[in-house]
Amino acid sequence: MDRLAGQIGGTPSHGRLHPMVEPFDQRQLDVGDGHVLHVEQSGNPDGVPVIVLHGGPGGGCSPYMRRFFDPGHFRVVLFDQRGCGRSRPHAEVAANTTQHLIADIERIRRELGLGRVILFGGSWGATLAVAHAEAHPEAVSALVLRGVFLGRKSELDWFYGGGAARFFPDRWAEFQSVIPESERGDMIAAYHRRLFSGERGQEIRHALPWLIWENALAGLEIAGPGHAPPDYARAFARLENHYFVHGCFLEDEQLLRDRHRIEHIPAVVVQGRYDMVCPPQTAWQLVDGWNKAELRLVPASGHALSEPRIAAELVRVMDGLRDAARPPRRAGEGI
| Cα–Cα distance, 322 to 318 (Å, whole number) | 6
Tell me if residue 182 is catalytic.
no
| Cα–Cα distance, 96 to 77 (Å, whole number) | 21
Contact, 58 vs 240, CB < 8 A? Answer: yes
DSSP string, 90-118: TT--TT-SHHHHHHHHHHHHHHTT--SEE
From the candidates 2, 70, 275, 319, which is the catalytic residue?
A: 275
**C-alpha separations of 159 from 1, 75, 76, 98 in Å:** 10, 35, 32, 20
Backbone angles phi, psi at 291, to 5 degrees: -65, -30
Q: The dihedral of CA 147, 151, 152, 158: what is its sign?
A: positive
Contact, 306 vs 218, CB < 8 A? Answer: no
Q: What does DSSP assign to residue 82? A: T
| Cα–Cα distance, 119 to 105 (Å, whole number) | 10
Tell me if residue 303 is catalytic.
yes
Tell me if residue 275 is catalytic.
yes
From the candidates 206, 303, 306, 319, which is the catalytic residue?
A: 303
How many C-beta atoms surround the C-beta of residue 100 within 10 A? 17
Query: Which residues have CB under 8 Å from 165's CB, separation 6+?
Result: 171, 172
User: Looking at this protein, which amino acid is placed at residue 104?
Assistant: D
From the candidates 62, 123, 301, 306, which is the catalytic residue?
A: 123
- Looking at the annotation, which residues are catalytic? 123, 275, 303
